[in-house]
Structure 1
Amino acid sequence: MPSLQLVFAGSPAAAVPSLDALVASGHRIVAVVTREDSPQGRRGILTPTPVADAAERHGIPVIKANRLAGEATELITALGADLGVIVAYGGLVREPLLSAPEHGWINLHFSLLPRWRGAAPVQHAIIAGDEVTGAAVFQLVPELDAGDVFGTLSQPIAQFQTAGHLLEALSQSGAALLTRVVDQIADGTARAEPQTGDVTLAPKLTLPDGKLDFSLEAASIAARVRGVTPEPGAFTELDGARLKILDARIARDAPRLAPGQLALHGKAVHIGTASEPLELVTVHPAGRKAMNAGDWWRGRPADAATQVTA
């Protein structure tokens, strides 16, 4: 099989399996493009992206840029790569860079396109209650996630699976799909088909997307908890402080509670919704460590609030 010279663009941990798989495939990665080091942790220590760390481990030159423009475009174009590969880089590829490699750019996207085009496809699939999602490798075009598709894979969404767990699984299976498509482009057998079906959008989630609305039904709230875990995180407000909810399950056949009302049911902490209550399993109170919800409840003062703030 012919070997291609690749430039790989990616940033988070979800892109590392793809980089590792392409290194093992025999194709030559001439450079890795990733976002610049960013402050991490309470001390704000400048930290390389997981992809930057992986590239260093493989001995691959790294170009750090938050935008693929100007000097970054010049550096990447000068590499003369046959194909650009992008996996969750966190920025757009525009002309003239889009057309610089002989075969253009391909993108591994974690959804079954055209459903959930955008930055947060896994999170939106879970929040929407989808039963199945997947990954797609497509030809990058100027329009967002709209290019012809070379290959897909499908994966059921498990009942209690969070966005973090699902993305980790898709990053592994997607890496194999991506490598297969690169091999097909190299040997001339790759065929891309136009996207078909209804387009839905998956914009990046921000902190307000994690605030829970207990006037909704339990299934919808539980799906949002899983969809925003680990980022941006699910939360409500109680006693004037933010209470993060790390894990919650529908409490089947439990007594109904008013929306947002907290109560102890046996050893379990329940909170009311528009339907059956949710059981809070793990919470993270402000200024404390994450803990079992029952332990948190039993440690609260007797006169503590039992109704969250809308």
Structure 2
Amino acid sequence: MLRLLFAGTPDVAVAPLRALARDAEHFEIVAVLTRPDAPQGRGRRLEPSPVKQAAVELGIPVLECDPNEPTFVSELKASGAEAAAVVAYGKILKQDVLDALPRGWYNLHFSLLPQWRGAAPVQRAIWAGDTLTGATVFRITRGMDSGPILAQSTLEIGAHDTAGDILQRLSDDGSHLLASALQAMADDQIQPVEQPQGAYEIARKIEVADARVRFDVPSFAVDRQIRACTPHPGAWCRVIDRSADAVGQPADDELAPTLHILEARPVDTTQAAVPKQLEPGRLAVGKRQVWVGTASEPLELIQVKAQGKRAMAAADWARGARLGEVVYCR
């Protein structure tokens, strides 16, 4: 039986933690390493990470210390862990920490390494238009996601899949991949393979500013950006009313109300009701549909969330917002 430390933080790390905990024949999770409780929501109340919540439910001791603290290595050795399983933990580990476990640290990463090393591999893959992604289990070294690979699995990215959809599937599929790779490693039945050298895209974290939707590009590119940013950090724009009779529109466009775009679809312009062309960012409202212009054909807005409002169908939002004749998303 392999004695494991599990390190992770967000929702996508919960399924792998539960899968390893269920496999009591092969693994004993001696402790879980996660971030300290953090302020959440409007009230900024301290909330535990999803991984901590799962660990408490499973009765596993939780470590919330910083791996950079001088006492961490001694705490790690005292836990009795032989190896570590890491899923979206979010901290860089120093060499003395990596050396503290005799059988090493192993990361479940949501891309087909060596492509898309970094913090947001699924999001960047969707934004780039990739049709295939996957999960990789590799041994952590000092380089960013560059250690030798133990196992990989592939997953197709569908035309309407969001980052949230793909991450959930990879979390579920990757749970089995991680468990089987760790078991094979413990039994000395797997030989890690070094990653090929070369220049590969880095999956930089997507910040809120990056998620502001650009409409001056073709509709397929707008669609990719929205899906890549859904659900986090959330694709958004500002709604700017240029109508002559607009009331309450701020003089500064950057103070205009925000609109989060939760779902959108490229349109078939052969349909009679669909506008054949709209100026980039220009809104057009039908009885049951809302469209926004791009550098090519329009995009239909399906579901949105206005500032201070709940999520709703775009047509319902448009009716309630009392939009003028000349309105832009910018």
TM-score by length of 1: 0.95
For residue 129 of structure 1, what is the amino acid of its counterpart?
A: G
For 1:24 and 1:64, the matched residues in 2 are separated by 23
1:167-186 maps to which residues of 2 (within 5 A)?
A: 167-186=167-186
Shift of 1:74: 2.8
Q: 1:244 aligned to 2:240?
A: no
Given that residues 68 and 91 in structure 1 are in contact (C-alpha distance below 8 angstroms), is that contact kept between their aligned partners in structure 2? no
Equivalent residue for 2:132?
Answer: 132
Equivalent residue for 2:160?
Answer: 160
Equivalent residue for 1:221?
Answer: 222
In the TM superposition, what whole-angstrom CA distance separates every residue of 1:188-228 from its partner, at most 9, and x where no partner exists?
A: 11211111365210011110111011100100110110100
For 1:51 and 1:305, the matched residues in 2 are separated by 47
Equivalent residue for 2:249?
Answer: none
Equivalent residue for 1:40?
Answer: 40
Equivalent residue for 1:204?
Answer: 205
**Residue 263 of structure 1 is aligned with which of 268, 284, 298?**
284
Please give the root-mean-square deviation of Cα atoms over the aligned residues, in Å: 1.4
For 1:22 and 1:159, the matched residues in 2 are separated by 32
Equivalent residue for 1:279?
Answer: 300
1:1-310 maps to which residues of 2 (within 5 A)?
A: 3-26=1-24, 27-196=27-196, 198-239=199-240, 240-253=256-269, 254=274, 255-301=276-322, 303=324, 305-309=326-330
For residue 302 of structure 2, what is the amino acid of its counterpart?
A: V
Shift of 1:79: 2.1
Instruction: Name structure 2 gaps, 5 residues minimum.
Output: 241-255
Shift of 1:308: 2.5
TM-score by length of 2: 0.90
Given that residues 77 and 97 in structure 1 are in contact (C-alpha distance below 8 angstroms), is that contact kept between their aligned partners in structure 2? no
Instruction: Name structure 1 gaps, 5 residues minimum.
Output: none
Q: How many residues are aligned here? A: 307
From the superposition, tell whether residues 126 and 41 of structure 1 become closer, same or farther in structure 2 (CA, over 3 Å). same
Given that residues 238 and 305 in structure 1 are in contact (C-alpha distance below 8 angstroms), is that contact kept between their aligned partners in structure 2? no
- Secondary structure of 2:277's match? coil
Shift of 1:63: 0.3
For 1:299 and 1:23, the matched residues in 2 are separated by 49
For residue 257 of structure 2, what is the amino acid of its counterpart?
A: A
From the superposition, tell whether residues 67 and 100 of structure 1 become closer, same or farther in structure 2 (CA, over 3 Å). closer
Shift of 1:77: 2.7
For residue 103 of structure 2, what is the amino acid of its counterpart?
A: H
Given that residues 55 and 61 in structure 1 are in contact (C-alpha distance below 8 angstroms), is that contact kept between their aligned partners in structure 2? yes
For 1:235 and 1:114, the matched residues in 2 are separated by 31
For 1:76 and 1:304, the matched residues in 2 are separated by 63
For 2:296 and 2:67, the matched residues in 1 are separated by 46
Shift of 1:49: 0.7
Deviates more, 1:49-58 or 1:59-68: 59-68
Shift of 1:266: 4.9
For 2:97 and 2:201, the matched residues in 1 are separated by 27
For 2:306 and 2:323, the matched residues in 1 are separated by 17
For residue 46 of structure 2, what is the amino acid of its counterpart?
A: L
From the superposition, tell whether residues 133 and 282 of structure 1 become closer, same or farther in structure 2 (CA, over 3 Å). same
Deviates more, 1:250-259 or 1:68-77: 68-77
Deviates more, 1:229-238 or 1:75-84: 75-84
